[in-house]
Structure 1
Amino acid sequence: MVNIITNQIGYQCKEKKVAVFRNVTGTSFSVVNANTGKEVYNSIVSSPIDNVASNEVIVLGDFSSVTTPGTYQIKMEGAGVSYPFRIDVDVYKPVLRDLFRMYYLQRCGCEVTKELGGIYAHPACHTSLATIYGTDKKIDVIGGWHDAGDYGRYIVAAAVTIADLLYAYEANCSIFEKNFDIPESNQTTPDLLCEVRYELEWMLKMQDPETGGVYHKVTCAGFPGFVMPEEETEPLIVSPISVTATASFAACIALAIPFYYNYDEEFCKKCYQAATRAWDALQDLHMPGGFKNPADIVTGEYADATDTDEIYWAAAEMYKLTGKQMYHDAFKKLVTEKVWLGYGWEDVGSFGNRAYLTTSFPTDHEVMNKITESTKEYGKQLFEASKKDGYGVSLGNSYIWGSNMVVANNALVLLDCYHLTKDKSYRFAAKEHLDYLFGKNPMATCYVTGHGITSPMHPHHRPSVAKNKPMPGMLVGGPDAGLHDPQAVATLTGMPPAKCYVDHFDSYSTNEITIYWNAPLITLLAEFM
């Protein structure tokens, strides 16, 4: 077990850099050139920290003074050395590339070529018409991205994924102008917008042309075995319309439209009509909040206890897009009840807040203040939690299913606070969350497949299992103290929360992947590159 833990991918030259030491008695450490063994820096460690979430006593070592590009390791007498890591201005380019290319490799309904997909190439899959549940009507819903380790496609997951990717492009479009080796590369439209459009085109097919409502998902009745996507040939079923899907659809489509103004006016018009119809449908959809699987469908449910935050997001995005008073009134009414927060698929309020805070149309002063103060208070809570954790993350002891998504999303909230307050301590706290995902964590594992020294080799991801090799560039779910699968129960019972992770393809609660876990990590990288 390694006792000196760092971000395994590395650090940019001028960023703050902190290593974690556990099970050590030394008080000083050194940074050495990994190729020559020459010491380039030495210092002392912090006072001991009792890290409850990992059941460890740890100390920290700041080596921010090391800024010269190179490959390094950290040493402490009696404790060994860290894994090697790079310091360089472009250290994150390779991982960003794979995190983004994951979306092409997850494409459904088209051929993934050998040239671009390597061993994960496959012919067009899931190309049959899908039956609308409870009817004999069949529709074309070909396209989009496979959502996760299975081959389902889900609207609420797609919406937040697209939002995060567009935020990443907005934050730092230059890093997405290069050739990412997708079929649309080297065209006028940037690769990221091409890839996102592939998902948007599928989402448009999921809207009912008669009501404007949006179907929740398309899957088979159950999950397939660990096979390649073209081998899942059971009938496709379109699950019923839901409020959460319809509202998330309206919000996502409205957000996307301005990004395509300069590339395809007709597509923007089509999207505007779809978003408007979805909003109008929300006024007529009288159904329980959230979504429940029909009795004979057992694929991912994406249930949600409330749909108000999705409507909140939709109202904000429609107002930001159009400036129409009816959307402004709807949003203000919801803010009066509550400021919704969160960047996950279930809690989407922060997407709505971001839209309102950045609109060019007139805003309500009281509403702006309420959103700003609520966001800052939320960020402060996360910041205080991260200061108490030796690894610098804001989870406390709450390591849930998809904890790595929470890490990434919390980092985005911290960055919101940084932009609102200009307090650089929030930015550093967000960076600590990135370091955690890249290896500075109690498992000493880079949670992105194919990167770092130790990374998941057996993700719960059907193409990876079928090919017996992990597809690169996938962020796995991470520690889940709830032990929500039999493999986790068998392997992890009694472990501290931050160590409830197992690299096994049967552990879907700790080692699965999804499109909306990669997306906030890409957004986070865009802020730091």
Structure 2
Amino acid sequence: MLAGTGLAALMSAAALADAPAPLRLSQIGFEAGGHKRAILVSDAATPLSWQIVDASGAVLADGETMPFGADESSGQSVHQIDFSGALEAGEGYRLIVNAYESRSFAVTERPWQDLARDALNLFHQNRAGIAIEERHVERPDLARPAAHENEVLTCFSGEDTAGNHWAGCDHSLDVTGGWYDAGDHGKYVVNSGITVWTLLDAYTRFGAAYGDGTLPIAEAGNGVNDLLDEIRWNLDFMLAMQIPEGVTMDLPVGPLTSREDLVFTPTDVSGMAHHKAHNEVWTPLPYAPHTDDVPRYLYPPSTAATLNLAASAAIGARAWADVDADYASRALNAAIRAYDAALANPDIYTPGTFDGGGGYGDNDVSDEFYWAAAELYAATGEQRYLDDLRASPHFLGAPGVEGSPTGSIAWPSVGALGTITLATVETGLSEAERETARANLVTAADAYIAVRDSEGYAIPFGPGDYVWGSTSNLLNRAVILSLAHEITGEARYREAVVDAMDYILGRNALDQSYVSGYGARPMRNPHHRFWAHAADPAFPKPPAGILSGGPNNQNMSDPIAQTMRGTCAPQACWADHIDSYAMNEVAINWNAPLFWVAGWLDAE
């Protein structure tokens, strides 16, 4: 009886520890002397008294909550608690509000350091074409043999899912390497573009922290910055996706008014980039990449993919100029060829009618043209790119700026990346134009702060923003806020960055850390074919530092999300389930801003 009682008590304690708590705060703690905010779920209409106590119970700070009331995004009534100030570094702190007591939390000088490094390790572990060795991962079960080695592919031919017949091509490309994009084993040029840009931009800001030998990667010790080595693994893949000279393919040209009955036109595609490379059909869960024997193909080129290659290779040319001049020259030549090819073929889109991989369709490439021109202008200083920039509707634009079509940063919306480059890189742009770019980024940041101040959970994200990959979209807004802090020096922008990161790490409607391995309630069951322990115990659990796509109430297409349709507030439409690809997949373009923001906060 005693043993049974003890077991029941332990089980109850474990369940309690894993249950959502009324007090919501970052589950990895806070920065000494930095911004600190918590949220209490409570219907109380008047302020409540709060205290911060240390491990001994001594009161270190006190105050009153700020009732916010009903919050549309979370579907909850909440109070906000700001306890910013000079708490000394230490552990065992607790926040107490009436009968509610938070989990204990720590205050440290660098709370985001480990997170940045773990977030970056996703890329090494998602590499194709190389063995993932035990010495480079946190647990032995995460190691695996090389997958998709010597990957020489030709083009898909035959009928697509809409009944269109594709003629294929006469060439093959060696596209070995690169990163698997997400939960599947596909490799995509479009999504690679924003990912490579984000990591290379991080390199320009705080890349010195990732010098040779600092990261657990295969190239450590080669004399090159480890962050650059990791990026090159995928940039090499992107360069390999460029089509040789003299190639003609039958492609649909112009706006895609229908997915069916496509009209094909012989097109010179020299210098364009194939949109993607992936399996002929969707593979099941779980499915280790090194066991994958499903036929794989190159899929037709697109203007969007070609411009992603142009932009990525151009910023790569700048990054490698003083590291490997030959590689920088190769990248720049590829960027120029790609840009010219996109100008020659400005309206070739992907119809999204192929089985086995994500579509990444984008029928408005004006922002990609602007972004690519900005990167090529920064790399070459040539007048023709500046002329194209000034003619673009996105010129110097930023999210939320009146008259600008430039939207918030995401893989199909990359105009702001061009403006960031023009605002922060020395070019031949006039000082007045650079100042306009900087001012527009600050205006965008101000708009995000206004949203934050209208939200119960105090984040720069409104009730209509919870789409597929919402966590990464929030972190991309944090990138803009970070840049506003750099431009102005004003602390309020950095505080808003911390607010966004605190949401990711538990200060949200579900009391959920959306990062594996971090917090009392971390994400555990991502939609991923190898980190698939939830589907088969023979497969590994995810490594630490992997970001879930997060709440999504606008595309509830997977079987788990479908059961939640119409029943959850926007911020609560999420489940930690391996079958939920719409809410709990992981992806390279999601972990990239997690690394950027965590690394930026740590460097600050």
Q: Shorter-chain-normalised TM-score: which range?
A: over 0.9
Letter in 1 for 2:26: N
Q: What pairs with 1:216-255 in structure 2 (closer than 5 Å)?
A: 216-225=275-284, 226-255=286-315
Q: Which residue of 2 aligns with 1:132?
A: 155
Cα distance 1:336–1:45, how it changes in 2: closer, same or farther (>3 A)? closer
Letter in 2 for 1:279: Y
Task: Name the CA distance, whole Å, in 1 between partners of 2:342 and 2:62.
Answer: 61
Q: Which residue of 2 aligns with 1:113?
A: 133
For the pair shown, the structure with the greater C-alpha radius of gyration is 2
Task: Name the CA distance, whole Å, in 2 between partners of 1:389 and 1:57.
Answer: 11
How far off is 1:364 after superposition? 4.1
Task: Name the CA distance, whole Å, in 2 between partners of 1:41 and 1:364.
Answer: 50
Question: Which of 453, 456, 467 pairs up with 2:523?
Answer: 456
Cα distance 1:462–1:33, how it changes in 2: closer, same or farther (>3 A)? farther
Task: Name the CA distance, whole Å, in 1 between partners of 2:104 and 2:202.
Answer: 29
How far off is 1:193 after superposition? 0.7
Q: What pairs with 1:461-472 in structure 2 (closer than 5 Å)?
A: 461-466=528-533, 467-472=539-544
Question: Which of 556, 568, 592 pairs up with 1:519?
Answer: 592
Cα distance 1:195–1:468, how it changes in 2: closer, same or farther (>3 A)? closer
Q: Which residue of 1 aligns with 2:571?
A: 498
Letter in 2 for 1:325: Q
Q: Which residue of 1 aligns with 2:513?
A: 446
How far off is 1:42 after superposition? 2.2
How far off is 1:366 after superposition? 6.1
Q: Which residue of 1 aligns with 2:26?
A: 7
Q: What per-residue deviation string (whole Å, max 9, x for no partner) do you get for residues 343-362 of structure 1?
A: 21110011100121234232
> Which consecutive unaligned segments of at least 5 residues does structure 1 have?
none
Q: Which residue of 2 aligns with 1:164?
A: 198
Q: Per the alignment, in what secondary structure is the counterpart of residue 463 of structure 1?
A: coil
Q: Which residue of 1 aligns with 2:215?
A: 180
TM-score normalised according to structure 1 size: 0.95
Q: Which residue of 2 aligns with 1:474?
A: 546
Task: Name the CA distance, whole Å, in 1 between partners of 2:136 and 2:426.
Answer: 40
Task: Name the CA distance, whole Å, in 1 between partners of 2:540 and 2:124.
Answer: 20
Query: In the alignment, is the contact (CA less than 8 A) between 1:48 and 1:58 conserved in 2?
Result: yes
Task: Name the CA distance, whole Å, in 1 between partners of 2:84 and 2:220.
Answer: 37
Question: Which of 392, 414, 436 pairs up with 2:481?
Answer: 414
Query: In the alignment, is the contact (CA less than 8 A) between 2:93 and 2:105 conserved in 1?
Result: yes
How far off is 1:16 after superposition? 1.0
How far off is 1:328 after superposition? 0.5
How far off is 1:29 after superposition? 1.6
How far off is 1:28 after superposition? 1.4
How far off is 1:512 after superposition? 0.5
Q: Per the alignment, in what secondary structure is the counterpart of residue 42 of structure 1?
A: strand
Query: In the alignment, is the contact (CA less than 8 A) between 2:481 and 2:494 conserved in 1?
Result: yes
Q: Which residue of 1 aligns with 2:68?
A: 48
Query: In the alignment, is the contact (CA less than 8 A) between 1:332 and 1:367 conserved in 2?
Result: no
Letter in 2 for 1:45: T
Task: Name the CA distance, whole Å, in 2 between partners of 1:97 and 1:360.
Answer: 29
Task: Name the CA distance, whole Å, in 2 between partners of 1:69 and 1:369.
Answer: 39
Query: In the alignment, is the contact (CA less than 8 A) between 2:34 and 2:86 conserved in 1?
Result: no
Q: Which residue of 2 aligns with 1:148?
A: 182
Q: What per-residue deviation string (whole Å, max 9, x for no partner) do you get for residues 111-145 of structure 1?
A: 11123233122211112421212135332111001
Question: Which of 308, 313, 321 pairs up with 2:366?
Answer: 308
Q: What per-residue deviation string (whole Å, max 9, x for no partner) do you get for residues 204-233 of structure 1?
A: 111112111111110012221121111221
Task: Name the CA distance, whole Å, in 2 between partners of 1:164 and 1:203.
Answer: 15
Q: Per the alignment, in what secondary structure is the counterpart of residue 505 of structure 1?
A: coil
Task: Name the CA distance, whole Å, in 2 between partners of 1:64 and 1:373.
Answer: 28
Query: In the alignment, is the contact (CA less than 8 A) between 2:51 and 2:97 conserved in 1?
Result: no
Task: Name the CA distance, whole Å, in 1 between partners of 2:52 and 2:600.
Answer: 27
How far off is 1:77 after superposition? 4.9
Q: What per-residue deviation string (whole Å, max 9, x for no partner) do you get for residues 41-77 of structure 1?
A: 2222113332111111111222222421112343435
TM-score normalised according to structure 2 size: 0.83
Letter in 2 for 1:236: R
Identical amino acids, percent of aligned pairs: 29
Letter in 2 for 1:213: M
Between stretches 103-112 and 47-56, larger displacement belongs to 47-56
Letter in 2 for 1:90: R
- The answer as to 2:461 corresponding to 1:395 is yes
Between stretches 140-149 and 113-122, larger displacement belongs to 113-122
Task: Name the CA distance, whole Å, in 1 between partners of 2:346 and 2:443.
Answer: 34
Between stretches 361-370 and 236-245, larger displacement belongs to 361-370
Question: Which of 372, 377, 380 pairs up with 2:443?
Answer: 377
Q: What per-residue deviation string (whole Å, max 9, x for no partner) do you get for residues 134-159 of structure 1?
A: 13533211100110111101111111
Task: Name the CA distance, whole Å, in 1 between partners of 2:69 and 2:92.
Answer: 25
Cα distance 1:353–1:8, how it changes in 2: closer, same or farther (>3 A)? same
Letter in 2 for 1:149: G
Q: Per the alignment, in what secondary structure is the counterpart of residue 447 of structure 1?
A: coil
Cα distance 1:369–1:18, how it changes in 2: closer, same or farther (>3 A)? same
Query: In the alignment, is the contact (CA less than 8 A) between 1:51 and 1:57 conserved in 2?
Result: yes
- The answer as to 2:242 corresponding to 1:207 is yes
Task: Name the CA distance, whole Å, in 1 between partners of 2:309 and 2:354.
Answer: 25
> Which consecutive unaligned segments of at least 5 residues does structure 2 have?
1-19, 157-167, 246-269, 396-403, 534-538
Letter in 2 for 1:246: T
Q: What per-residue deviation string (whole Å, max 9, x for no partner) do you get for residues 286-306 of structure 1?
A: 534x4223x443410001130
Cα distance 1:359–1:115, how it changes in 2: closer, same or farther (>3 A)? closer
Between stretches 415-424 and 4-13, larger displacement belongs to 415-424
Q: Which residue of 2 aligns with 1:69?
A: 89
Question: Which of 356, 378, 382 pairs up with 1:320?
Answer: 378
Q: Which residue of 2 aligns with 1:431?
A: 498
Task: Name the CA distance, whole Å, in 2 between partners of 1:3 and 1:492.
Answer: 25
Cα RMSD (Å): 2.0
Q: What per-residue deviation string (whole Å, max 9, x for no partner) do you get for residues 11-59 of structure 1?
A: 111211011111265711222334x444332222113332111111111
Q: Which residue of 1 aligns with 2:35?
A: 16
Letter in 1 for 2:494: R
How far off is 1:468 after superposition? 4.5
Q: What per-residue deviation string (whole Å, max 9, x for no partner) do you get for residues 243-298 of structure 1?
A: 1111111111111222222321111111111111111111211534x4223x4434
In the TM superposition, structure 1's runs of 4+ consecutive aligned residues that sit over 6 Å from their partners are none
Question: Which of 158, 181, 196 pairs up with 2:231?
Answer: 196
Q: Greater share of helix residues, 1 or 2? A: 1
Query: In the alignment, is the contact (CA less than 8 A) between 2:525 and 2:576 conserved in 1?
Result: yes
- Number of corresponding residues: 526
Task: Name the CA distance, whole Å, in 2 between partners of 1:19 and 1:470.
Answer: 28
Q: What per-residue deviation string (whole Å, max 9, x for no partner) do you get for residues 417-437 of structure 1?
A: 333333322221122111111
Question: Which of 49, 52, 65 pairs up with 1:28?
Answer: 49
Q: Per the alignment, in what secondary structure is the counterpart of residue 81 of structure 2?
A: strand
Q: Per the alignment, in what secondary structure is the counterpart of residue 344 of structure 2?
A: coil
Task: Name the CA distance, whole Å, in 2 between partners of 1:33 and 1:366.
Answer: 52
Task: Name the CA distance, whole Å, in 2 between partners of 1:413 and 1:296.
Answer: 35
Q: Per the alignment, in what secondary structure is the counterpart of residue 263 of structure 1?
A: coil
